[in-house]
Structure 1
Amino acid sequence: MGLIHGFVAGTTVTLSALYLTHRSITQNTIEQRTILSNLSHTLATIPLPPSDIKVRPMPFVKRVSLVETMKDMWDSELERIVRTVQKVDWRGVREGVEDGIGEVVRRVKGGNAGQ
């Protein structure tokens, strides 16, 4: 009788687990259905905006020609160059050039004095 008792006990445990799982899934489904129904009802009661508002169509945008694109590229390049030139410290450049010329003059004078 041990074999029959084991089979019955195993079947009982398996069926109990299946029943409890099915009941849990059913309860969750009912609860979710209730929540979704309440949300649907809430959304249905929200007033909609008046339908007489007219939607403006998107404005027509003319495509730019190749010549205009090239002009824009030229202008942006010129602006970049001008901004670069404006950022230069011209006093520092002048002092550097003066120092370089002074060094050349000293070497030239120093070279002539040795002859």
Structure 2
Amino acid sequence: MGFTTGLLGGFTLTTTLLYLSLSLHARNRVHQAALLHQQSLILTNLVDPQPALPPPASREVRVGIWETAKDKWNARLESEVRRLQHMDWNEVRERMEEGVSSVYRRAFEKGREVIPDPPK
């Protein structure tokens, strides 16, 4: 092993060990600070309790125009299906029969007015 290779190898090893040590030390300090902060809050709340936080407000996420159109379509379809399920079909049939018979009656009455009766 040459002088340059040994020097670079030693420098790399020393730098790596120093970086890992400092990184581990910094993470430990951050963790200790979080623990101390948590313990401080616990002790403070024992002596002087904080008022309860209000429940978080519900948050609605706005959707696109396509989703809004689909929701409106589905709501309209659902209401129409419910209306059809609760409809009295006998009443509908009777109204249609009355309507058809009145149209039929008027058509034949007008036909009699237009066509004169045959002479006897």
For Structure 1 versus Structure 2, the TM-score category normalised by the shorter chain is 0.3 to 0.5
Provide the TM-score with structure 1 as the length reference. 0.40
TM-score of the two chains, using structure 2 as the length reference: 0.39
